[in-house]
Amino acid sequence: MTWTVAPEPFDSPVAAALWRAYYTEVSDRWYLLHEGRRTAPEELEREVAARTGADLVPPGGQLLVARYGGEPAGSAGVRLLDAATAELTRVFLYEGMRGRGGAALLVSAAEDAARALGAARLVLDTRGDLVEARALYARLGYVETEPHNDDKYAEHWFRKELG
């Protein structure tokens, strides 16, 4: 089996399924940690509808989908924050696809997409409980920095010069 990564319309059925899976996982993890419950269906529907990914389209952004053996396996998005800075977002692999090298491949493709958009650096935020994500970004050369946004769920901010 081989990996491929290619641009995907933010509103395609594949992108919608990946966004729903991503949001369900990170939301459930937060609620289980802080409130001892999973995401309520109405909360999930509200947030999925509110965060469509419409900003992940050229010329200011890009959504990428990884496929493993031709089947959708994960996603990553980039969006320009200013002329030189892009934000990495929605990095996700279905649980059964993890540990096969797809996350690093997705992040590398997102870095290439950010460069193509004109960015010289990539920034991102994540939470403390997403230890796998923090380890991935550190392994790929991202350094922890001061906050670049005020997202209420962000606890760690990273940056990488794309050079």
For residue range 18-76, what is the model confidence (pLDDT) as tens digits? 999 999 998 999 899 899 999 999 998 998 888 889 999 999 999 999 999 999 999 99
Measured CA to CA, the distance from residue 62 to residue 41 in angstroms comes to 28
pLDDT at 139 over 90: yes
Structure tokens at 146: 């001061």
pLDDT score of 1 more than 80: no
Instruction: Name the strand (E) or helix (H) holding 85.
Output: strand 85-93
pLDDT confidence of residue 163: 83
| pLDDT above 80 for 104 | yes
Report the share of the chain in percent with pLDDT over 70. Answer: 100
Sheet holding 85-93, edge to edge: 3-7, 61-68, 71-80, 85-93, 121-126, 156-161, 143-145
Beta strands in 20-70 (DSSP E): 61-68
- The dihedral formed by the CA atoms of 120, 140, 16 and 18, expressed in degrees to the nearest 10: 180
Percent of the chain topping pLDDT 90: 84
Q: β-strand 61-68 against 71-80: which pairing, if any? A: antiparallel
* 23 against 163, higher pLDDT: 23
